[in-house]
Amino acid sequence: MDIGEKLRLLRLQRGLTQEDLADRCELSKGFISQVERNLASPSIATLTDMLECLGSSLSAFFSEKTAEKIVYTPQDMFVKEDSENIRGSITWLIPDAQKNAMEPILLDMDEGGESYPLPPHEGEEFGYVLSGSIYLIMGEKKTRIRTGCSFCIHPRETHSLRNAGKTRARVLWVSNPPTF
């Protein structure tokens, strides 16, 4: 952390000159200038005084808020190949999505592929068939869903997806809360 630069930005946000801040803190303008250029280090007590004069505190000044990531590239995604059940792959589109309220995946299933059965749970699931066609299996009921169609369920029974055709099926599948 660049303490001097952060102090300078805080001072400028408050519309103060170095002289204004020096007067409020009972310090010299030269000392303020040196601190902002990292040529001098204030004691904790002096830094606390400076921050109070700038309407801040030590805890607020040193809290590092990380920017929330909102765009994810293929390098951020995790792909799991599965030749046994799915006969294709599962791509987790957002890293650590289990920490979020929803979890989106991309499911690619070759002919005969089927997702793992998911038990009933609270929440909702949404799916959109990008290509191919699938069966949504809810308990004993099987519903065919084709390219360009979507589904939204409240999974009160065990459910899964199965490729309904002879070509690869691709489904965007979102669960709330995360279950994948």
Domain 3-62, CATH: 1.10.260.40
The confidence score (pLDDT) of residue 177 equals 85
pLDDT tens for 69-87 read 889 999 999 999 987 778 8
Assess whether pLDDT exceeds 70 at residue 67: no
Sheet of strand 141-146: strand arrangement = 141-146, 133-138, 159-163
Residue type, 60: A
Residue 63's pLDDT is: 85
Measured CA to CA, the distance from residue 22 to residue 33 in angstroms comes to 9
Element spanning 132, H or E = none
Calculate helix-pair angle for 18-25, 44-53, nearest 10 degrees. 120
DSSP 75-127: GG-EEEEETTTTSEEEEESSTTGGGSS-EEEEEEE-TT-BPPPB---SSEEEE
145 versus 177: which is more confidently predicted? Answer: 145
Q: What is the mean pLDDT of the chain?
A: 92
pLDDT digits (tens, 9 = 90+) for 84-122: 778 899 999 998 877 788 999 999 999 999 998 999 999
Q: Name, in order, each residue with C-beta under 8 angstroms of 179's C-beta and a sequence gap of 6 or more.
A: 103, 118, 121, 123, 125
Q: Where in the chain is the domain with CATH 2.60.120.10?
A: 74-176
Query: Which pLDDT score, from 0 to 100, does residue 32 have?
Result: 96
Cα 17 to the chain's mean position, in Å?
Answer: 39
Q: If you search the block for the tokens 């303008």, which residue do you land on?
A: 29
pLDDT in tens, 45-66: 999 999 999 999 998 898 877 6
What is the band of 165 on the pLDDT scale with cuts at 50, 70, 90? very high
Task: Band the pLDDT of 21: cuts 50, 70, 90.
Answer: very high
pLDDT at 108: 96
> According to CATH, where is 1.10.260.40 located in the chain?
3-62
Indicate the length of the chain as a whole number: 180
On whether the pTM is more than 0.75, the answer is no
Mean pLDDT along residues 144-166: 96
Assign domain 74-176 to its CATH superfamily: Jelly Rolls (2.60.120.10)
Helix (H) or strand (E) holding 13, with range, is helix 3-13
